[in-house]
Amino acid sequence: MQQPVAQGVGFGIGEVGLDTWSTCGSGCGLWRSVITLNIGKLMGRFIASASVNMLQTHMGGCDDRYLQLWRTKEISNGVSWNGVDWLYGDPLQSKLVPSSNKTGCSGKANEWVEFDGAEVRKRVRSAADQNYSAISSGVRSSDEDTRGAWRRIQIDSVKLHVTYYIYPPLPDRLTVDGTSCVTNVSSSPWITSRYATLSARARSTESESVYLRMRIQKYGADSNFYWYRTPDSVGGNATVNRSPRSPRQRGRPPTRDGPIWARKTI
């Protein structure tokens, strides 16, 4: 039986599960709910954690029942739940939720459900990395053949909670022994001092502090000859100077300057 999906953060009740109760009327049948969430502000952000939270306001039976969160393809107005593409073959997460049947069961109340698993974060992070403006998720009952697992979800309670970090710009004012760095190895200056001083200015987009990391690599090599990261975060526009003093440098011939760069560490 086709039923409309719940779409968008707004108002109303989303139904999930098999409703064959005597009061179901024209709404008898299997229900699934899908909602689309705006994530435009997450474009280009690094997602450290993510959870989809919602309030369950009723359940058909009195027992605890599992509720599933799925990733779905984007939905549009008027689509029915059996026209929704449920992705990846498995739910992102399942949560055991106590009953919220306050009329037929004693001691029951509305229940908040928090889907905060690794797959939830993975899919939100992927959407942000691909600059999606919205993401659609669906909820289904794990027991779709049992009317005791039918429930109501308050649609305007559904929210995506995210902790994210902003990628800082690359550092500037890169110098080695006071000489500006260059990107072309053929024209890069020679370093003649045993303990050259590396210098860079950290930068940030929203005045947050960042960690600055420096490394030296032999040209064409993947491994680091020297590596350093500030032990504490530094403010934007802070200049960091570092003179490598590794025993491995003694007796080595002059080397060319290497890249100096920074990243936000979480």
The reported pTM is 0.69
pLDDT value at residue 81 = 64
pLDDT value at residue 191 = 75
Which domains are delineated in the chain? 13-166 (2.60.120), 172-263 (no CATH)
pLDDT value at residue 109 = 97
Supply the DSSP string of 161-210, one letter for each residue. EEEEEEPPPPPEEEEETTEEP-S-GGGPPBP-SSSPPEEEE---SSS--B
State residue 148 phi and psi, 5-degree precision: -65, -20
The rounded average pLDDT for each run of 10 residues, N- to C-terminus, in the chain (266 residues) is 36 78 86 89 89 95 97 80 86 98 95 97 94 92 94 92 86 88 76 82 82 81 83 88 61 37 34
pLDDT value at residue 194 = 76
pLDDT value at residue 245 = 66
Comparing CA positions, the residue from 84, 54, 49, 81 lying closest to residue 69 is 54
pLDDT value at residue 125 = 94
State residue 81 phi and psi, 5-degree precision: -65, -30
pLDDT value at residue 13 = 60
CA dist 182 and 174 (Å) reads 9
pLDDT value at residue 259 = 39
Q: Please list, residue by residue across 152-176, b when 16 or more beta carbons sit within 10 angstroms of its beta carbon and e when fewer do.
A: bbbbebbebebebeeebeebeebbb
